[in-house]
Amino acid sequence: MKFSQTDHRRIKLELSYDGANYKGWQRQSNVPSIQETLETTLGKILGKPVVVTGSGRTDAGVHALKQVAAFTTESPLKTEVFQRALNGLLPHDIRILQVEDVPLRFHPIADVIAKRYRYLIDNNCPSFPLTRHYCWVYREPLDLHTMRQAGQFLLGTQDFACFQTQGSPRKTTVRTISDVLVERIHDPNGLYPPLICIEVEANGFLYNMMRTIAGTLTLLGVEGSRGCGHPERMKEIINSQNRTLAGATAPAHALYLIDVVYPRIL
């Protein structure tokens, strides 16, 4: 597809990043962010300011295996040229996985139908030194059976106010969770020890919702390992809509945005 200098195009980016050195996705004053880094790099390529819209914010320290963003341009550069140029100029902790032309109406936030997050916990004793920056090192024993059972109470359309922390008010705290996974994952190459993986897919997430779900499942897992855990407590916590009854907000550095889902036909 050829474009002239006057054609407006909507470019969709799929990217991955290590969030350790950034204060989250959103541009902020005097601190590094993923959005600012992308916009600055695109500005160098295009010779003019560019506004990049992401599918949503990730907090300081949170990582992404797949984030989606988009921008509008009149540049005739081919998508593969954009990808090579961006990866040539961006820091090594941000990589562009795919670049494609999409309809001008495409909006990375409004068009999302689901997102999936992963949370990793190193529950080994002793913990593995290389995981400390990318997993929550949790030293008390956890009962995965209790955590799995509790996770099933998250499914469906419910008011998840109990998992929202202050900072980003929403019109509604009702969300639909379509999948919850709690399992122990093993590295087939034996380079890393078994890790506890929590994955949640939903049509949207409240502020710190995923981290609080991870903290609550961990709380119930500790109780289960002590023989006093009741998975049904998750249902009670959700119905209460009371943040103080849920678990702690788990650390950000162990959280990964792993997928953003859009309709097949935009």
Domain regions of the chain by residue span? 9-102, 114-261
* pLDDT tens digits along 81-132: 999 999 999 999 999 999 999 999 999 999 999 999 999 999 998 888 888 8
pLDDT at 91: 97
114-261: CATH topology is Alpha-Beta Plaits (3.30.70)
- pLDDT at site 227: 86
Q: How far is CA 103 from CA 8, 57, 85, 111, 265, in A?
A: 10, 23, 22, 12, 10
Q: Is the peptide bond before 126 cis (omega within 30 degrees of 0)?
A: yes
> How high is the pLDDT of residue 204?
94
**Percent of the chain having pLDDT more than 90?**
82
pLDDT at 265 exceeding the cut of 70: no
In angstroms, the CA 240 to CA 175 distance is 16
Asked if residues 159 and 174 have their Cβ atoms less than 8 Å apart, the reply is: yes
Which pLDDT score is estimated for 134?
95
Task: Kindly list the distances between the CA atom of residue 217 and the CA atoms of 13, 146, 179, 251, in Å, as whole numbers in the listed order.
Answer: 33, 8, 15, 14
Residue 259 bears catalytic tag = no
pLDDT tens per residue, range 142-171: 999 999 999 999 999 999 999 998 766 678
Among residues 59, 111, 122, 143, which one is catalytic?
Answer: 59
Instruction: Specify the CATH class of 9-102 in words.
Output: alpha beta
What are 169-227's pLDDT values in tens digits? 678 999 999 999 999 999 888 888 899 999 999 999 999 999 999 999 999 999 888 98
CA gap 233, 216 in Å, rounded: 10
pLDDT of 233 over the 80 cut: yes
How is residue 100 written in tokens?
């494609």
CA 3 to chain centre: 34
pLDDT at 246: 96
> Which residue from 258, 250, 57, 213 is spatially nearest to 135, judged by alpha carbons?
250
